């Protein structure tokens, strides 16, 4: 149990998101329902995404005898985009994969569930999202918002969804983005019998060490 200082209240990530959503409603002065557009009757809806089956073949003999030469998996990533007028939008992107060999690669994640309030010269976002700040082709060293999904992509380009509150202000001199990131997501690692296991010793999320006593909060 993390220790809390006297006189301070610890808020969960969900509490922070709900509080920020209420603030967006106050700042906007109106909701989509006020304009006659209910939550289940958007002005625009778009459904997309993909599903894939994958077979990986490794012709060389593995170092670890528990590793297989053939690995199969199936993945799906649907995407739903909803829009109410010009002021509100919601983007939902779940992801899931089943892997026949790597138990850790069999996983599901909510890549995005982000509600956006569009203002005249600002945007407010709340929910779960991904922020891409890549400036080079090989390594995106400034992508520090989202945690790496290492079991999905050993090149470290796939990211986990991050709970956030984000407000962006657009001015003539540029864009100012402010973030509140409630909660920290631990990086995922492949199991030891995975063929693409990249470490000599197994790594688990249970071994995570935090500088702060708050842990993931």
List per-residue pLDDT tens for the chain, 217 residues long.
333 333 333 444 445 444 554 445 444 444 444 455 565 678 889 999 999 999 988 888 877 777 788 888 999 999 999 999 889 999 999 999 999 888 888 899 999 999 999 998 999 999 999 988 766 666 666 778 888 888 887 777 888 999 999 999 999 999 999 999 988 888 877 777 777 765 666 676 667 777 777 766 6
pLDDT of 154 reads 75
Q: Which residues of 91-102 are buried (b: 16+ CB within 10 A; e: fewer)?
A: bbbbbebebebb
pTM over 0.85: no
- Whether 183 and 217 have beta carbons less than 8 Å apart is answered as yes
C-alpha distances out from residue 197 to 25, 65, 205, Å: 46, 13, 15
């Amino acid at each position: 149990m993390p220790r809390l200082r006297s006189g301070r209240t610890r808020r969960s990530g969900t509490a922070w998101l709900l509080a920020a959503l209420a603030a967006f409603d106050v700042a906007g002065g109106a909701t989509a329902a006020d304009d006659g557009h209910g939550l289940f009757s958007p002005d625009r809806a778009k459904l997309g995404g993909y599903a894939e089956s994958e077979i990986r073949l490794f012709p060389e003999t593995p170092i670890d005898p528990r590793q297989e030469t053939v690995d199969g998996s199936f993945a799906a990533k649907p995407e739903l985009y909803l829009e109410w007028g010009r002021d509100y939008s919601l983007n939902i992107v779940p992801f899931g994969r089943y892997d026949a060999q790597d138990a850790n690669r069999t996983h599901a994640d909510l890549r995005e569930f982000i509600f956006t309030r569009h203002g005249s010269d600002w945007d407010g976002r709340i929910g779960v999202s991904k922020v891409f700040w890549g400036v080079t082709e090989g390594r995106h060293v400034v992508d520090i918002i989202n945690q790496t999904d290492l079991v999905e992509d050993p090149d470290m380009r796939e990211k986990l969804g991050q709970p956030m509150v984000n407000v962006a202000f657009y001015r003539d001199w540029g864009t100012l983005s402010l973030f509140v990131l409630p909660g920290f997501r631990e990086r995922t690692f492949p199991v030891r019998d995975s063929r693409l296991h990249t470490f000599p010793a197994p790594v688990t999320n249970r071994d995570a060490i935090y500088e702060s006593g708050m842990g993931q909060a």
